[in-house]
Structure 1
Amino acid sequence: MTVVVLSLTAVLLIGVGYLFAISPGRPAPLRDEAGNSIPGSLSERVTVQIGGIPQSMIIQSVDPANPVLLFLHGGPGMTEFFMELDYPTGLERHFTMVWWEQRGAGMSFSADIPPETMTMDQMISDTIEVADYLRKRFGQDRILLVGHSWGSYLGIQVAEKAPDRFLAYVGMAQIVHQLLSEVMAHDFLLGAYKARGDAGMVRKLEAAPVSMEDGLSPAWMRLRDAAMHGVGVGHTRDIDSVVTGIFLPVWRVRAYTVMDKINVWRGKLWSRPFFWEDMLRDDLAARLTEFHVPMYFFVGRHDRTVSPDLSRTYFDAIDAPIKGLYVFDNSAHSPLFEEPERATRILLEDVLQGANALADAKRSVGLGGVHDE
């Protein structure tokens, strides 16, 4: 028994030691193809006072004179820098890439954050303040704003409120009316699993109701991610589960300390209740359609976390100086990570140029696939 206890203790100590070894809390320097550090490049973790509290971001760029791209992660409260491990975008080669972790999320989580500050108005104000910090630091009058999922719900409201700060807004998996999106996802998954002949999952879905009247049942919230990943319509087309695709990669991020990695999950659990119900029932298309900044949407054809149909309909209703919608045929919820080469080309050739030459012809994004109208 003593030998077993000693062995388990040794394994535990080795595991803890390894975790600390891969958690130095600083991003690696950017390197060229030969493995050499790129002279003049930037790869750092920064903490600044935003909205009265310290908030952190990771900034990476081969050339800090490149256009600044501020990325708004999803959630609420779920950071996304970890995606660069398995789905590298390479955006730091073309942009000064800013992975800000929002109030209450990841590196910016603290038990001392006043709960009363976790409001939509404060999140919008924080985003504008971060943008102003970046504009001043890098000497750029306007920067690029990209929002993903929850970040798109936040980002599009920021773009409407402060258009003078931004070159353009890009909504990836643009939220419109999330409760309706959840109802549509439930219907899609029920049909998909019936077609597969998966009677067990069909029973689970039928016992996990979603409706516009009653909202999301606890059973649906427990089931939805697994059901989506089972048919390739979740966070990415190829993620098998939240554990292998999200939970484990977070623990491998060297830019995080061990406490940061713990705080990713603390922040997600703490932040979500402040915003989730209001976001579910808010219909952006009913109140926010006029913008004074170029608007671009990245839509994953296979996405069911956020309905591509609703994004398409919302896009058509938007009035903006210029706009472009891009359907990513091989993507689910995360086109920037799933098809980075195409996304980068669009950002460089259309978004930065104030053009839409690469935008799709008007297409419907139906549950049976994408087709020209």
Structure 2
Amino acid sequence: MNALARSLVLAAALAANVAYADAPAPKPVKPTNRAEAVAIVAQARQIVTPNGIDRSEKVRIGGIEQWISIRGNDRRNPVLLVVHGGPGYVSMPMSWWNGRGWEEYFTVVHWDQRASGKTHLLTPEDRIRPTLTAERMIDDVGEMVAWVRKDLGKDKIFLLGHSFGSYVGLETARRHPQWLHAYIGVGQATDSPESERRGWRFAVDAAQRDGNAQAVRELEALAPYSAPGHPPTIEQIYAQRKWVAHYGGVMAYRRDNQSDSDLAKLSPDYSDEQLRALWRGNEFATPILLPPLLAHDIGANKTLDCPLILLLGRHDTNVNSDVAAEWFAQVRAPGKDLVWFEHSAHMPMTEEPGKFLLALVNKARPYAQKAGDAAP
């Protein structure tokens, strides 16, 4: 290339750069903040059907105000009350993603329990602390079931308990079977001391296979973990849970449950202020409520007077699913179904949401249909 040609090429390049520099900067692609993202989610999940329901309100349960949401495409559908786990691990803020399909077949009631989520922000901790007992939590469930039945005009509903919620949920089903189409247990608590021992053994074995000296050292320091007559302290529980989660016992094939809890950040059900304090109740209530539960075998009772459905993650060693399945095999109930989620641990509603919806529709809803409690 001669000197003239090179000069022309250089001039063209400089002109192009000048034109590019003068061009307006491209507009940012939205959403650029949480408010914009939440608005998109809220619009997409809006209930627009003529007979639908979408309510968010405070209800007085157990002497205090507690937050609930009620959503569904058709009021004629059966009601499903969700009792979340933790204690304090609310399910309402994840429901925009993993529970939208449920609302086509059920009227779904999510509830931030005592010392949980938005409810925790309504009452001072010093007032709530003396009430944080298993019996009070069970009574709250009973009051909520009674309120839902009356408010929504239903003789019976479905009660779904997850993790800690499966303890208070199962106890409610035992006391008030006549109120329920069926009880649905997810991550079902039964023989908690045995579940804890198996979870510890799982984590030790996984750490040894992995050559993880730190994990082995920390876990063996807990031995004998959950020995008969010696329930674990909250510090020991947290230490065990750390490595159970790391080796996929909370969410299969993952090292924590962040992909579930992060869903809360886009929830239209929570303001920024409520979201910033979302897990404060979990931190407050867990040391009080969890250790006593893990000291008891609540599966000793092998009779239930309403239908029983268990939805269990095959990899769940957080609340050991094999222990729950062994209990299920011995239970006498008017109807029984167990669905295994082969690619889930403790969070099958998030890990396998499609299969979870199918299980609710195919295993639970027929009980309501038989009773004439379902939209055609």
In the superposition, the TM-score normalised over structure 2's length comes to 0.79
SS in 2 for 1:124: helix
Q: Aligned partners of 2:350, 2:292: CA distance in 1, in Å? A: 28
Q: Structure 1 residue aligned with 2:106, among 95, 105, 110?
A: 95
Q: Aligned partners of 2:162, 2:74: CA distance in 1, in Å? A: 25
Residue 166 (1) aligns with residue 177 (2): no
Superimposed CA distance per residue, residues 108-137 of structure 1 (whole angstroms, 9 cap, x where no aligned partner): 112164433222222222212211222122
Residue 224 (1) aligns with residue 240 (2): yes
Q: Aligned partners of 1:175, 1:338: CA distance in 2, in Å? A: 19
Q: Is the 8 A contact 1:105 1:263 kept in 2?
A: no
> What is the match of residue 267 of structure 1?
281
CA 1:354/1:21 → structure 2, altered by over 3 Å: closer, same or farther? closer
Q: Aligned partners of 1:89, 1:22: CA distance in 2, in Å? A: 17
> What is the match of residue 241 of structure 1?
256
> What is the match of residue 296 of structure 1?
309
Q: Aligned partners of 2:94, 2:80: CA distance in 1, in Å? A: 16
Residue 197 (1) aligns with residue 211 (2): yes
1:1-373 to 2 correspondences below 5 Å: 28=42, 31=45, 37-84=48-95, 87-88=98-99, 90-109=101-120, 110-111=123-124, 113-209=127-223, 210-212=225-227, 213-216=229-232, 220-234=236-250, 236-242=251-257, 244-246=258-260, 248-286=262-300, 288-354=301-367
CA 1:230/1:271 → structure 2, altered by over 3 Å: closer, same or farther? closer
Q: Aligned partners of 1:222, 1:292: CA distance in 2, in Å? A: 35
Farther off after superposition, 159-168 or 256-265: 256-265
CA 1:251/1:111 → structure 2, altered by over 3 Å: closer, same or farther? farther
Give the AA of the match of 2:232. Answer: L
In the superposition, the TM-score normalised over structure 1's length comes to 0.80
Shift of 1:87: 3.8
SS in 2 for 1:82: helix
Shift of 1:80: 1.7
Unaligned runs of 5+ in 1: 1-16, 356-373
Q: Is the 8 A contact 1:29 1:37 kept in 2?
A: no
SS in 2 for 1:341: helix
Shift of 1:86: 5.4
Q: Is the 8 A contact 1:30 1:41 kept in 2?
A: no
Superimposed CA distance per residue, residues 168-220 of structure 1 (whole angstroms, 9 cap, x where no aligned partner): 00111110122321111111111122222333322332234323144336664
Q: Aligned partners of 1:229, 1:77: CA distance in 2, in Å? A: 18
CA 1:126/1:238 → structure 2, altered by over 3 Å: closer, same or farther? same
Farther off after superposition, 151-160 or 137-146: 137-146
> RMSD of the TM alignment (CA)?
2.7
Q: Aligned partners of 2:274, 2:262: CA distance in 1, in Å? A: 14
CA 1:142/1:340 → structure 2, altered by over 3 Å: closer, same or farther? same
Superimposed CA distance per residue, residues 135-194 of structure 1 (whole angstroms, 9 cap, x where no aligned partner): 122221100000000010010000001111110001111101223211111111111222
Q: Aligned partners of 1:31, 1:285: CA distance in 2, in Å? A: 38
CA 1:251/1:341 → structure 2, altered by over 3 Å: closer, same or farther? closer
> What is the match of residue 364 of structure 1?
none
Q: Is the 8 A contact 1:28 1:43 kept in 2?
A: no
CA 1:137/1:256 → structure 2, altered by over 3 Å: closer, same or farther? same
Unaligned runs of 5+ in 2: 1-31, 369-376
Q: Aligned partners of 2:33, 2:348: CA distance in 1, in Å? A: 33
Q: Is the 8 A contact 2:234 2:291 kept in 1?
A: no
SS in 2 for 1:296: strand
Shift of 1:240: 3.5
Superimposed CA distance per residue, residues 237-286 of structure 1 (whole angstroms, 9 cap, x where no aligned partner): 254435x3355433332211233224432211222233222201111122
Q: Aligned partners of 1:291, 1:316: CA distance in 2, in Å? A: 13
SS in 1 for 2:71: strand
Asked which structure has the greater CA Rg, the reply is 2
Q: Kindly indicate which of the two structures has a greater share of residues assigned to helix.
A: 2
